[in-house]
């Protein structure tokens, strides 16, 4: 484990103490409506579930609930919620972390299914500014959200089903203690993701750096629980947005953070920031990479009980404990 120097240690300690106090002050909503978090789509599956290169998680509270991302293939999340006995019929709010199909592919099928049970189910969809920008390959082929080439067609098909898109342009509380970052300023990391797509502008084709990437922060009594679909804006950049909302520790990270191909320098930089920010629990899935997650956990000295390589059915309980799926 890499130890902090004394000045850095005491500075980090003071930051954590102050942050924890702020979290206690501002997280009364979380205490009144704590969320259980269940992974519904990721690479690894237990018996009976469907694993794939995607992500989805369900934030389930007594007063409110939110579906974060919808998987890749149209029926993956639907299959997995039926397998796990998770009911989305009373959930109105959906967050799409960014336009990529491995996070948006299940939206329409889920709306079709649960909308028959409850007309309001999965009808409010939160997206960040730039989500509907039309992406193109260098050869001019269209690439859109879900299983659609055209972003406009995807939007039209969703709206036909009664879906209302809500564009987020900055930090926004969408449910008690649940904050969307909106588009994340690239202050530390510049861009963390695949290349090869472009956006047509007045200046011609410009490389797409997924400016519509956003994450969900859950302000708990212990600090922020930060959930990303892929973290294309960078984990550090994303955490800094949440800490501007409330200066609390980043106690936990959940989801995909696109570190599976990251260099050792990037992983070390990320680990150092997470250590200073107070990370104590992590459930990395999808594009995080098991090796990267293990490296960060080892560097920070996080015990195995507080580390999960997310699988279908993995859970973070309302009191912030990990329940592993059978495959873990």
In a domain, 33, yes or no: yes
Q: Which domain holds residue 248?
A: 6-314
Side by side, the strands of the sheet bearing 124-128 are: 164-168, 124-128, 93-95, 65-68, 56-60, 36-41, 315-316, 322-323
Q: Is residue 322 part of a domain?
A: no
Buried/exposed 20-29: b ≥16 CB within 10 Å, e otherwise: bebbeebbeb
- CATH label of the domain that carries residue 134: 3.60.15.10
Is 174 within a domain? yes
Nearby residues of 207 by Cβ (< 8 Å), 6 or more positions away: 195, 197, 198, 199
How many domains, in total, are found in the chain? 1
pLDDT of residue 101: 97
- According to the model, what pLDDT value does residue 29 have? 58
Question: Is residue 257 assigned to a domain?
Answer: yes
Q: What are phi and psi of 150, to 5 degrees?
A: -95, 125
pLDDT in tens, the chain (328 residues): 232 333 443 444 454 455 445 545 554 555 667 999 999 999 999 889 999 999 999 999 998 999 999 999 999 999 999 999 999 999 999 999 999 999 999 999 999 999 999 999 999 999 999 999 999 999 999 999 999 999 999 999 999 999 999 999 999 999 999 999 999 999 999 898 899 999 988 888 899 999 999 999 999 999 999 999 999 999 999 999 999 999 999 999 999 999 999 999 999 999 999 999 999 999 999 999 999 999 999 999 999 999 999 999 999 999 999 999 877 7
> Is there a domain that residue 285 lies in?
yes
257: left (phi over 0), alpha (psi -120 to 50) or beta: alpha
Residue 113 lies in a domain: yes
Give the pLDDT of residue 200: 84
What pTM value is reported for the model? 0.91
- Residue 202, pLDDT score: 83
* Closest alpha carbon to 314 in 89, 84, 75: 84
CA-based Rg of the chain, rounded to a whole angstrom?
A: 19
């Amino acid at each position: 484990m890499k130890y902090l120097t004394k000045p850095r240690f005491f500075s980090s300690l003071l930051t954590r103490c102050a942050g924890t106090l702020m979290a206690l002050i501002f997280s009364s909503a979380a205490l009144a409506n704590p969320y259980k978090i269940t992974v519904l789509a990721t690479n690894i599956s237990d018996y009976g579930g469907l694993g794939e290169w995607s992500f989805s998680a369900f934030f389930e509270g007594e007063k409110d609930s939110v579906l974060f991302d919808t998987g890749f293939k149209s029926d993956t999340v639907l299959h997995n919620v039926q397998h796990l006995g998770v009911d989305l019929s009373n959930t109105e709010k959906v967050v799409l972390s960014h336009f990529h199909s491995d996070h948006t592919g299940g939206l329409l099928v889920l709306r079709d299914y649960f909308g028959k049970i409850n007309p309001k189910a999965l009808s409010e969809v939160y997206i960040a500014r730039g989500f509907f920008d039309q992406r193109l390959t260098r050869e001019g082929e269209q690439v859109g959200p879900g299983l659609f080439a055209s972003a406009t067609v995807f939007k039209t098909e969703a709206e036909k089903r009664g879906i209302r898109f809500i564009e987020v342009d900055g930090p926004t509380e969408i449910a008690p203690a649940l904050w969307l970052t909106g588009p994340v300023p690239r202050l530390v990391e510049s861009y963390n993701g695949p290349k090869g797509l472009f956006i047509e502008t007045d200046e011609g084709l410009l490389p797409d750096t997924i400016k519509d990437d956003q994450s969900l922060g859950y302000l708990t009594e212990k600090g922020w629980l930060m959930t990303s679909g892929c973290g294309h804006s960078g984990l550090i950049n994303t955490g800094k947005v949440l800490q501007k909302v409330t200066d609390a520790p980043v106690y936990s990270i959940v989801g995909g953070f696109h570190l599976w191909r990251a260099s050792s320098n990037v992983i070390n930089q990320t680990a150092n920031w997470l250590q200073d920010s107070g990370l104590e629990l992590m459930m990395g899935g999808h594009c995080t990479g098991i090796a990267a997650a293990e490296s960060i956990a080892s560097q920070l000295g996080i015990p195995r009980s507080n580390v999960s390589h997310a699988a279908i059915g993995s859970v973070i309980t309302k009191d912030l404990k990990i329940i592993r799926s059978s495959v873990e």
